Amino acid sequence: MTTKAAAPHVDRSDPLIVPDSEHHIGMSIRGELKLFFADGETLNCADVRGMSAVRAAKEVTALPDGRPSIVVTRLMTHFHSNETGLLIQQNPSRVNVGRLSGVRKGGPEALLPGNASFDQYLMLSLRGHIYVNLDPLIMAAEGITEFPPIGVTFLSQTPTLFYDIEDLDGGITATEPKDAVARLALASQSVCGSHLTHYIDMPEQSI
């Protein structure tokens, strides 16, 4: 297996390393993340941490205003909370994509500094149930100067409803709730986000 990755020793502030790159990173939740249940229970998830992987597309496109933009695909999301038993994973049946867009006009060399935003479709495993969101959970960060943006916090300030897959017509592949009622919600009442803590080196190697 060969894994391409931007090794830690490369200049991560060089925008040209972004296209066709792939990285794995460690993350932890910063701020106040809460799970709201229908019955009134609120669960504070203070100790959530885990890792994620992102691949950047090869092609850089131009936005209507002339700024460069590149599609970034979330390959993996895996968070857990020891205190609550919450496990957060990516919903494999939905595409989790985002964009990194430069703040200046230009080609790939203007991708950094840039702003990034991801639409995330997740699976939450908790107390024997699996919940999925149908509206995307949007995570965004501005003023990214390095890639991967270690030390940056991707903020989510929008509440997101989650449905028990048992209630959804189509289970994890459902895209509409139809008659299903949401069973829990992920939200924060303060600034909250996933903070990129460290880069995981996966050196290129052949087996």
Partner 1 sequence: MRPAVLLRACTVCAIILTGIARVLVRLVSVRRSERARVVSTVVTETLVQLGPAFIKAGQLLGTRIDVLPRSVCAALARLYDGLPVAPVADAMPNLSPRLLADLDGTPVPVAAGSIAYVYRARSRDGHDWAIKVRRPGVASLIDHDLVLFGAIAATLQRLPFLRGAPLVEIATQLGEAIRQQLDLAAEADALRLLHNNLTGPGIRVPAVVDAHSGRDVLVMEYIDGLHRCPMEPAAARRAALNALHAVYRMLFLDGFVHCDLHPGNLYPMPDGSAVIVDAGFSRQLPESARRRFASFFYHMSRGDGQACADLVLSTARPGASADQTGFRSRMSELVEQSSRATVAEFNLVEFAVRLFDVQRTHGYYAEPRFVFPILSLIVLEGSLRQACPDVDFQIEAVPFVLRGLMR
- Positions in the binding site for partner 1 (CB under 8 A): 34, 36-38, 40, 42, 135, 138, 157-159, 161, 181-185, 187, 189
**What do you get for the CA distance between the two ends of the chain, in Å?**
6
**At closest approach, how far in Å is the CB of 166 from partner 1?**
15
Q: Write the DSSP symbol of residue 15.
A: G
Residue closer to partner 1 by CB (options 70, 161) is 161
**At closest approach, how far in Å is the CB of 38 from partner 1?**
4
Tokens of 184: 């829990």
**At closest approach, how far in Å is the CB of 11 from partner 1?**
36
Residue closer to partner 1 by CB (options 117, 197) is 117
Radius of gyration of the chain (CA): 18
**At closest approach, how far in Å is the CB of 22 from partner 1?**
30
Q: Which residues of 46-61 are buried (b: 16+ CB within 10 A; e: fewer)?
A: eebbbbbbbbbbeebe
Phi-psi map region of 40: left, alpha, beta (phi>0 left; psi -120 to 50 alpha)? left
Residue closer to partner 1 by CB (options 40, 203) is 40
